[in-house]
Amino acid sequence: MADTGGDFELFTGPAPKEADEMNKEQFRDEMKKTQQALAQLQKEEGKAKANDHKLAQILVQFLSQPENTDLFLLVSRAVANNIPSELILAIISLIDKKASEEVKVFLESSEEQSPSPESKALTIAKNKNFQSLSPDQKKTIDNWINRINEVSFKKPHRVLESVVIKKRSENPSQMDNIIRQISPSLVQLSAFILRNYLTAQNTSFEFSQLQEFMQAVFVNLIKNLEELIQEQKKFT
């Protein structure tokens, strides 16, 4: 895949241990952590509006499903980092029916009209890593990426503020340089969701390929959001 990262660092974190690799003690520890993360998720969302509380309930139900417990930490981090619940739901909507239905309602009821984001340059059909997928699988993933873009365009400022992390360079000679990075948790969560969808479709890819693809998706999204905001400033 061509380099689309620009000034965004590519995050490459380790995949979590699969359930079948855990012994009973490790499994109990993971379940305890899951309980704590769900409590944190509810606490964080309890500070938000009533609509956000409804969205939080969908997230909690999603994480309560045994097959999704390996995602609890990434979802709770996304919530704690103030990433819009609608965006988190759009991400998990690829494998969760309730989330997909709620995202559809949000897009149809949103009063704010934003131009449709251009995401065709990153369509799954054109990606060399995914040519083995069926046309239906490619279409499903394309529609998913479009949902992520459409939801983000409804809240461009908040998405930018929460998804883009700014930090100083760790290089002693470049301490004054500010590095921008896509939220590692969000990229990794999206890659895991895509992996789980493909697994359910009886196909698999190297996790690094999925992570690289989702990194490119979010870099492209951020560029589009920044362009949108700049255009809006011209008319204010």
The pLDDT of residue 127 is above 90: no
What are the pLDDT digits (tens) for 140-196? 999 999 999 999 999 899 999 999 987 766 666 665 677 788 999 899 999 999 999
Full domain range(s) for residue 128: 19-234
Side-chain-facing half-sphere of 232: CA atoms under 13 Å: 14
8 Å CB contact between 148 and 142: no
Tell whether 1 is covered by a domain: no
Count: domains in the chain: 1
Name the β-bridge partners of 179.
Answer: 167
Cite the beta strand spans of 101-193 per DSSP E: 164-168, 178-182
DSSP output for 191-216: HHHHHHHHHHTT----HHHHHHHHHH
Tell whether 5 is covered by a domain: no
Tell whether 156 is covered by a domain: yes
Tell whether 161 is covered by a domain: yes
User: How long a stretch of residues is the chain?
Assistant: 236
What are the pLDDT digits (tens) for 102-114? 999 988 886 555 5
Which band of pLDDT confidence, cut at 50, 70 and 90, is reported for residue 206?
A: very high
Tell whether 10 is covered by a domain: no
Which of the two residues, 76 and 153, has the higher pLDDT score?
153
Tell whether 220 is covered by a domain: yes
Side-chain-facing half-sphere of 70: CA atoms under 13 Å: 18
pLDDT given at position 214: 94
d(CA 92, CA 190): 8
Tell whether 62 is covered by a domain: yes
CA distances from 51 to 18, 32, 57, 77, 225 (A): 34, 28, 10, 20, 24
pLDDT given at position 6: 42
8 Å CB contact between 42 and 4: no
Tell whether 9 is covered by a domain: no
Which band of pLDDT confidence, cut at 50, 70 and 90, is reported for residue 21?
A: very low
The pLDDT of residue 38 is above 70: no
Global pTM value: 0.74
Which band of pLDDT confidence, cut at 50, 70 and 90, is reported for residue 51?
A: low
Cite the beta strand spans of the chain per DSSP E: 164-168, 178-182
